[in-house]
Every structure is written in C-alpha cells, then in structure tokens.
Chain A
Amino acid sequence: MTNLALAATEEEKMERFMEKIEKGIKIEADDWMPEEYRTTLIKLISMHGMSEIMGALPEKEWVPKAPSLHRKLGIMAKVQDEMGHGQLLLRVAEDLLKPYGKTRGDLMQDLFTGKLKFHNVFHAETRTWGDAGLIGWLVDGAAIITQTDMLNASYGPYARALHRICAEEVFHAQHGEAIIMALAEGTDEQRAMIQDALNRWWNSLLVFFGPAAKETLGTSKQDVTIKYKIRTKTNEQLRQDFFTKYVPRILSLGLELPDKTMHYNEEKEVWVYQEPDWSELKAVARNEGARSQARLNLRRTSYQTNAWVRDALAATIS
C-alpha cells in the first residue's frame, strides 16, 4: 500500500489485535497476527499434533496384544482417535505455517531432526498391559486437564479442534479407567501390574505439566501463552488440578501414591509433593528418553519405506 495515511502501522495493528484478545474475539487463520503469536501457536500446535501421532506408538505396542475381543476393539478405536487428533491439529498448524512456505512434510522432517519435540510421556517404555490402561487413564487424564484449559483459546481454529479432541479424550480416560478398574478388582498379579505402572509413570506425569517457574529449566512458554489468552492457568495450577482430580481416585482403587510424602495442606489449599526429577524433561528434549530413538526410528523408517506411495499419489493428482 502506498498511501501511508491509510496504512495501519505495526503498532496500530498490534493494538487492534490485543483489543480483540482482551474482548475474547477469536483470531482466525487469515487475520493479522504478531509474529510472536504465530510462532508460539506453531510451536504449541505442531508439538501437540506430533505428540498425538508419536503418542499413538506406545499404546499401539499393546493393541495387537489386548487380552480380549472387547479390549482389542476398545484400544484400536482409542489409538485411531489419537491419530485423528494428530491429523486435525497438523491441519491447523499447516495453515499457520503457510506464510513461511512450510508444509506437513517439513514438520515431519523437524520431528526427525529433533527440532520439533513431542511430549515427555511418549518417550517412556511400556512394559505391561497395566501401562496400556494407565496411559488411557492418567496420561489422557492429564492431557484433558491441560487441553480443557485451552478450550477458549484466542486462536479460533485451535479452540474448535480442542472441543472435538476433548470430547473424545473423555472417552479415552473412561476406556483407560475401565482397564485399570478391571485390573484393580482382579488377581494379586493384576493389581501388582497397575501399582508397578503407576510407580514408573508418576515422575513423567508430574513433569508433563511443565516446571512451575521458568527458573527450573531456564525456559517456559507459559507467560506468553497466558498473555495471548491461549491458556489461562499456570503449569502449577494445572498440576494441582490433576492431583485434586486423581489422587482420591488412585487411593480409592487401593493403590499407593508413589510419593509417600504427598499430602494436602488444608490451610494453603495446595497439594504438597516431592519435586519430580526434571532431568527427565531435559533428556527427552534431546530425544534421549528410554524409547525416544526407537519410536522416532520407527516413524522415520515407515516414512521412508512408504515414500514410493506418496510419490505415486502425487503423480496421479498432478
């Protein structure tokens, strides 16, 4: 635009943008947005999307092994949903990436090179059927808590995707809880299976919400995401919500909390718990978790093995 009088300056655009954010007006894919907002969203949503896709892999390990016809059907449907969420979210991320000329293929490459991360919980190994239940119950349970907090995210396409995703995640948590309850009401070996799974996953579940303050790891996106009303609660508030919801349920199933020091401080109205080992998060950020490389390798290999299929499809379209 040559007419300077009519052209809105960057500051004016920013002012209008923040006004919309404050008023709760949704930002849409084609709207003007500051670079920081776009890059924050890309990082958040592509990580969320890729985590759904990489998150299908640990559970997938137990799909063929599910112990009954009913469980086989349930877990197949559950993992399929996760892939579907991944697809939905990558579509949202792809729109945001357009100005940079990047595509889903680039996101996949970023995943392979380690530039794009996936959630810490999906780097862990799954040892027993108890893990398959626990992932559905508590990992999805934790995800519901963080995602519900973003249902009113300022970015419309993400908020709408989350509405669909959360509706399905509730089923997943019920699916996981049903597996866990069957085991809890079962034999000694079955009960031992879930206690063992809980003990092994506890640290990852706490780490999942992120550090309370950026001093813990040196970086945190929580301030930016709150400023732009993408989310409302801090990492610590979300972790506390998780405890409030799940600690009573864990205890009611006759399971023991892996953290023996954990208690609720009535006066301060907070759960007091042992700080998780944050080195886990640093390790998975470098893709050095127990199963990080194996799962990345699985995805990379299948991507390469199937390259001829994508080429063949591209040839029939053009």
Chain B
Amino acid sequence: MSNAENVLSPEYKEALKTLLFQLADDDFLLSFRGSEWLGLAPHIEEDVASSSISQDTMGHAAMYYKLLEDLGEGNADALAHARPAEERKNSVLAERVNGEGYYLETPEYDWAYAVVRNFFYAQAKKVKIDSLRTSSYQPLAETAVKVSMELYYHLMHWKLWFTQLLSSTDEAKRRMNNAIELVMKDFGDIFSYGNAKDAIEKEGLIAKEEELKANWTERMKPVFESLGMEVPAIPAASEKNGRNGEHTEDLTEALTTLSEVYRLDPAAAW
C-alpha cells in the first residue's frame, strides 16, 4: 500500500481515519484527566513525573490528530476541541472522571484508580503501539516508533506504583482491588474497533482485536503472578462502546471544560 493520500482507496482511508480517531481521542481524553490531577498528586515528585507523562500523552494525541489533518479531516485543533461527544471514538475508560468532585472546586481524586487506569491503559497502548510499528500506513508506523520511546517509561512508572501499592498496607490493597474492579468494568471497548472492526482488521493497519487482548493478558501475567494474583479477564463487551460514539456524561462534561476557551471564538488564533 502506498502512502500518498491520493492513492489510498476510499475503504482503506475510511478504516485508517476511524482507527486514528480512536487512538487520538483515547490519548487526548486520558491526558486531559491527567491534567486535572496537576498539583494534587500524593507527593511533589510524583506531580512532576505524572505531569510529564500527561504531556507526552497529549503530544501523542497531537501527532494522531495531525495525521488526520494530513488526510484532509480538517484542522487538528478543531478535531481535538470541536467534535461533539457522539463523534468521539475514545474508550469509556479514558473519559471517566478521576473521582469525586470538579477539578476547580475541591475534588477528592482517587490515586488507586489513577494508578490502575494508567497502568492497564499504558499496557494496552503498548501492545497496540508494538503492532502499529508494522502498520501498512507508513506515517502511522513512524509515529508508533516515536510514541514507543516515551511509552516505555510510562509503563515502567505505573507498573512500579501498581506493584508497590499492592504489596503494602491492607488499606492500599483494598483500594487497589476496588480500582481494578472499576477499571475492568470499562475494559470491554479498549481493544474494540467498534463497527469498523472488519474494515480495520483487513487492511493490515493494526493487529486483530483478539490478538491484542491475548498480548495484553500475556504481558500482565508476570506482574500479577509476582503479587500472587490472577490477571482479570477482559470483558467481551461493555455496556457502552466508546468506539461507536457511545459515551457517558463524564465525556460531555470533559468536552465542555477542555473546549471552554476554544469555543469563545473557534476562528481566532489563540
């Protein structure tokens, strides 16, 4: 498959764009949630570290939106800020709030949820990125190589938190196990391509859903075994499939916040 935009078949291009929206929206929303944590992490060193991860993640989203811009989908900032909830293709997990309360008031965010969500997500992202390195769409394969370099550190960071908190106090274990349950409830659409499954899988853009799921479980196994735990099963499906534009109120609220200034004047330069 050649990469010049004008020679991509319409079917290929459609499948590619859908996949790119899924990747972009996932990182964009999760990074937004990370930015709400800014200044509130358990200690200052962690604030610096996780903020750095959120920045990387926003950078990854920006690269995917740029690929979409290059495919003629419109301006990357508009793609990030102006699309309504029903057009978003991120997983439900990425849009979930960090815990109780709005970030501008006095939120009580849950660090256990942050650790589990980020660790499970980073591992899922890792198996996708590993597959994308050999994507049939060369610009995406090149992006995957760049993302991969940073993702290595994200995964290491969250894995350390995950194992430390699960090997510590009873309270930490209880909170972490609750968080695992919460995160897994939303894990059904993480590896889903939604209605575009057949189209995406046949174009050699990325591995099949089932293969990615198996890889995720395989990579998680040693971590869970070292803690005397079993890797939780990935649900076959979730109540809502974000890949098909099915979302929670959390996303609507997130979009209102993250586009507040942008919407004052979408035509203006900011």
Residues of chain A at the chain B interface (Cβ within 8 Å): 53, 56-57, 60-73, 76-77, 79-80, 83-84, 86-87, 90, 129, 179, 182-183, 185-187, 189-190, 294, 297-299, 301-302, 305-306, 308-313, 315-316
Task: Tell me the minimal C-beta distance from A316 to chain B in angstroms.
Answer: 5
From B41, B58, B172, A308 is in contact (CB under 8 Å) with B172
B187 → A minimal CB distance (Å): 24
B268 neighbours in A (Cβ, 8 Å): 186-187, 190
Bound CA span A127–B40, Å: 21
Q: Among B42, B51, B168, point to the contact of A80 (Cβ < 8 A).
A: B51
Q: Do residues A68 and B38 form an inter-chain contact, with CB atoms below 8 A? A: no
- Is A87 touching B39 in the complex (CB atoms < 8 A)? no
A84→B43 CA distance, assembly (Å): 11
Cross-chain contact of B62 among A64, A69, A129, A316 (Cβ < 8 A): A69
29 CB contacts below 8 A, A to B, read: A63-B38, A64-B258, A65-B261, A66-B261, A67-B270, A68-B77, A68-B270, A69-B62, A69-B65, A69-B80, A72-B58, A73-B62, A76-B35, A76-B51, A76-B58, A79-B51, A80-B38, A80-B51, A83-B44, A84-B48, A87-B45, A187-B268, A299-B39, A301-B108, A306-B42, A313-B42, A315-B169, A316-B164, A316-B167
In the complex, A157 Cα to B103 Cα: how many Å?
A: 35
Closest A residue by C-beta to B111: A309
Closest 10 CB pairs of A and B: A312-B172, A67-B270, A309-B42, A312-B168, A306-B42, A67-B261, A80-B51, A302-B40, A67-B262, A69-B62
Complexed CA–CA distance, A302 and B52 (Å): 20
Q: Mask for B119-133, Cβ within 8 A of A = 1, else 0?
A: 000000000000000
| CB-CB under 8 A for A90 and B52, given A64-B35, A311-B169 | no
Q: How large is the interface on B (under 10, 10 to 19, 20 to 34, 35 or more residues)?
A: 35 or more
- A64 CA to B76 CA, complexed, in Å: 17
What residue in chain B is nearest A301 (Cβ atoms)?
B106
Given A56-B38, A84-B48, A316-B164, CB of A67 within 8 Å of CB of B81: yes
Q: How far is the CA of A73 from the CA of B59 in the complex (A)?
A: 7
Q: How far is the CA of A189 from the CA of B269 in the complex (A)?
A: 12
Query: Would you give the shortest CB distance from B95 to chain A, in whole angstroms?
Result: 13
Identify A182's interface contact among B35, B44, B47, B269, CB under 8 A. Answer: B269
Report the minimum CB–CB distance from A178 to chain B (whole Å).
10
Residues in B212-270 with C-beta less than 8 Å from chain A: 257-258, 260-262, 264-265, 268-270
- Enumerate chain B interface residues (CB-CB to A < 8 A): 32, 35-36, 38-45, 47-48, 51-52, 54-55, 58-59, 61-62, 65, 76-77, 80-81, 103-104, 106-109, 111, 164-165, 167-169, 171-172, 175, 257-258, 260-262, 264-265, 268-270
- Could you tell me the dominant secondary structure of chain A's interface residues? helix
A60 touches B168 (CB 8 A): no
The residue from B59, B109, B168, B265 contacting A305, defined by CB atoms under 8 A apart: B109
Whether A313 contacts B164 by the Cβ 8 Å rule is yes
Q: B residues within 8 A CB of A315?
A: 168-169, 172
Contacts of B164 in A (CB 8 A): 312-313, 316
What's the minimum C-beta distance from B115 to chain A, rounded to whole angstroms?
Answer: 9
Of B32, B52, B65, the residue contacting A64 (CB under 8 A) is: B32
| Residue from the list A64, A66, A306 in contact with B103, Cβ < 8 A | A64
Q: Using CB atoms, name the residue of chain A closest to B265.
A: A187
A176 to chain B, nearest CB (A): 14
